[in-house]
Amino acid sequence: MTTVAERAARGREARKAVPRSSHAGFELDPRRDPIAIIGAQDRSRLPSLVPIRTGRMLASPFAFYRGAAAVMARDLASTPTTGLEAQLSGDAHLANFGGFASPERDLVFDLNDFDETLRGPFEWDVKRLAASFEILGRARAFSKADRRQSALRAVQGYREAIQQFAGVGDLEVWYAHLDATAMLAELERAHDPRLAKKVKRVTAKVETDGDRRALAKLTRWVSGAPRLVSEPPLMTPVSELGDDEEAEAAETAIKAIFRTYRKTVAADRRVLLDGFHLVDSARKVVGVSSVGTRCWVVLLTGRDENDLLFLQAKEADPSVLEPALGASRFSNHGRRVVEGQRLIQAATDIFLGWARAESDDGRGEVDFYVRQLRDWKTSIDVERILPDALAMYASACGWTLARAHARSGDRIAIAAYLGKNDVFDRAVADFAVAYADVNEHDHEALRGAVADGRLTATEGV
């Protein structure tokens, strides 16, 4: 067994090969083509939905950044690598954190997107997080000082939390979480009473079953039975997908997904799940980076037609990190997402599972992961947040990311590498500024590709 001292020594030794200050720099591949990288992802997606993804990424450099995880993954491969690994989110930008319900029905703050999760260098997640604060700050026209403050606070929050976790036992790390009440107190101290009031309102709403009422808006009643609403192209019931043959193929695929998914949940959850019956399903457009992948929403009923359960089966492609870091040890990418989420999150959805089934379009077998569509899910409105509160939010994100890495990586070695001063913080904040410039250039390249007809965009959807 490796001792604490030996693990700390490994972290300090890594500084010799990769000085902390070196994280400020990177070299872009001269053959780099961000539009080609995005286009390569689009080839496996539903052609009719790809223009929506392009249109969403056109909206702003921050929107582009949200959809360009594959581009940044390629770029991160050229940055210094410490060799200190953890289970990465793979897409740890600031909009991929938020509140959701724990199985104990507490509202907790955590990472909430795991499509790209893979084991890799801890610093890749930290850099993507820090850059997102610089990029959002530019979109909000915050001052250079305010932008740097939020990026620094994200990295500082990460470093100080890793130091904290390095000094406690494994069980204490595993049970650590950040609740909404603590975040609210911090918001009030950040002198943003408007945002604090909103968080209070959102917290009260979800804790009084407001989220279930919001989900109910996804349904309509037909002949006394609930059915999913029709809002194409964002929500299209299976019965409305083309002709009868296409709709039948989709229904067959969804039933196959749920047959295999059921086997991946724990025995007690299967008992709970078996009390529900599938009554309707629809194709849904989600997020920015995921637009065009297959995503099915399934409506189930329990004891009666008012006892509703909404599950989402989302296509799981290879992680964007795999070209640089190697293939996942899981052959099923739905399982890669689920196992990664269970490692990273403090409390995971009780219905989380995975499946592999024949695609509805004849592409062959496709991997999926399944979870509840929403479960008290909420987020801070980062488009309206003020600078002081954004800095506080950055600290919370940094703490949360550190907790995720502490559960899955060598927190003692990482803490020893980072040290107690701010050398790493300042280096990554410098990286964030430089990468925000690259991101703006890439966003303009996307605009150019749409303008000259290489790509088609549907904006405002």
Tens of pLDDT, residues 41-60: 988 898 999 999 999 999 99
Percent of the chain with pLDDT over 90: 72
Which of 86-100, 110-124, 175-189, 402-416 is least confident? 175-189
Tell me the average pLDDT across 379-408: 90
209 pLDDT tier (thresholds 50, 70, 90): low
Would you give the distance in Å from CA 95 to the centre of its chain? 8
Least confident residue range of 104-113, 195-204, 292-301, 380-389: 195-204
- What number of CA atoms fall less than 13 Å from residue 179's CA on the CB side? 9
pTM, 2 dp: 0.93
Coil, strand or helix at 98? strand
Residues 264-293 pLDDT 10s? 999 999 999 999 999 999 999 988 889 989
Poorest-pLDDT segment among 202-206, 285-289, 457-461: 202-206
Strand 225-228, strand 118-121: pairing: unpaired
pLDDT-based confidence at residue 188 (cuts at 50, 70, 90): low
How far apart are the C-alpha atoms of 342 and 328, rounded to whole Å?
16
DSSP lists the bridge partners of residue 404 as none
On the question of pLDDT at 440 being above 60, the answer is yes
Place of tokens 């409506």: 299
Q: Give the neighbor-by-neighbor strand order of the sheet with 107-111.
A: 97-101, 107-111, 178-179
What is the pLDDT confidence band of residue 24, given thresholds at 50, 70 and 90? very high
Note the pLDDT tens digit of each residue in 300-313.
999 998 899 999 99
Centre a 10 Å sphere on the Cβ of residue 417 and count the other Cβ atoms it contains: 25
The confidence score (pLDDT) of residue 190 equals 55
Question: For residues 334 and 356, what is the distance between their CA atoms, to the nearest angstrom?
Answer: 8
What confidence tens digit (pLDDT) does each residue in 68-111 have? 999 999 999 989 899 999 999 999 999 999 876 666 556 778 99
pLDDT given at position 210: 46
Backbone angles phi, psi at 73, to 5 degrees: -60, -40
Q: Per-residue confidence at 213, pLDDT binned at 50, 70, 90?
A: low
- Write down the mean pLDDT value for the chain: 90
Cβ–Cβ < 8 Å for 369, 334? yes
Q: Return the residue matching tokens 């990554």.
A: 428
pLDDT value of residue 192 = 57
DSSP letter at 231? B
